């Protein structure tokens, strides 16, 4: 069984035993190999937009002696149907790209399917997209991996009945009582504060106020 990074292990922890998985942007297929060899998933569909990474994925699966992994050359969720998996993982990409992948998929919205999302940046953009486009954030937590910290978001493709204001886009369902969540929020506070500082003396007043509000929301939530 491959030794997964803490980031990928956290993603795997969101997948229930017996769930079929589609891994979008599979790269080296480390997650599919782990899900099959650990007995979590009965089948995994490893997908990538480029033939090069998909060839590497196929090679790794073959060398590991793993069965139950199929491959698909496709752009995001295009070329996939909702009945091919129970859970769709979209990880290791920017928050805006993940939102774009979901927006371009005609069947995703309202499908009731579950998506595990792991944005490398702009989590606030992704959360806002989800809340405004018929998705419900069911769970979220951060994970420390080496010198970085990431957030992993479990999403249901059904309308959220709760009302969320702008603060929710910046904090989501992260809990500052959890060590990794607090660390992630502290890093987000520093990033957003820096963006506000850079824009304060420019003519882009609207963008400045956006980042200033974001930093203030997080500051109040984590008490810094």
How is the chain split into domains, by residue range?
A: 6-174, 175-224
Residue 163 confidence (pLDDT): 81
Q: What is the DSSP string of 22-84?
A: EEET-TT-HHHHHHHHTTS-S-EEEEESSHHHHHHHHHHHHHHT--SEEEEE-STTTT--GGG
CATH, range 6-174: 3.40.50.150
Q: Print pLDDT tens along the chain (224 aa).
A: 667 999 999 999 999 999 999 999 998 999 999 999 999 999 999 999 999 999 999 999 999 999 999 999 999 999 899 999 999 999 999 999 999 999 999 999 989 999 999 999 999 999 999 999 999 999 999 999 999 999 999 999 998 888 888 999 999 999 999 999 999 999 999 999 999 999 998 888 999 999 999 999 999 999 87
Per-residue pLDDT at 154: 98
């Amino acid at each position: 069984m491959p030794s997964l990074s803490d980031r990928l292990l956290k993603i795997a922890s969101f997948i229930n035993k017996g769930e079929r998985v589609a891994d979008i942007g599979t790269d080296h297929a480390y997650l599919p190999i782990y899900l099959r060899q650990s007995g979590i998933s009965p089948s995994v569909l490893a997908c990538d937009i480029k033939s090069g990474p998909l060839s590497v994925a196929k090679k790794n699966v073959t060398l590991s002696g793993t069965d139950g992994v199929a491959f698909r050359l496709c752009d995001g969720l295009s070329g996939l149907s909702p009945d091919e998996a129970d859970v769709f993982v979209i990880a290791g990409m920017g928050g805006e790209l993940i939102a774009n992948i979901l927006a371009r998929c005609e069947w995703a919205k309202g499908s009731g399917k579950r998506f595990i999302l792991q944005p490398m940046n702009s989590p606030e953009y992704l959360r806002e997209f989800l809340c405004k486009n018929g998705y419900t954030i069911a769970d979220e937590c951060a994970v420390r991996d080496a010198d970085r910290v990431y957030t992993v978001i479990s999403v249901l493709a059904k309308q959220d009945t709760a009302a969320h204001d702008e603060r929710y886009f910046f904090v989501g369902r992260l809990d500052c009582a959890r060590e990794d969540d607090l660390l992630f929020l502290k890093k987000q506070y520093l990033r957003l504060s820096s963006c506000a500082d850079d824009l304060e003396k420019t003519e882009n007043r609207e963008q400045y106020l956006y980042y200033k509000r974001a930093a203030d929301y997080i500051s109040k939530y984590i008490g810094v």
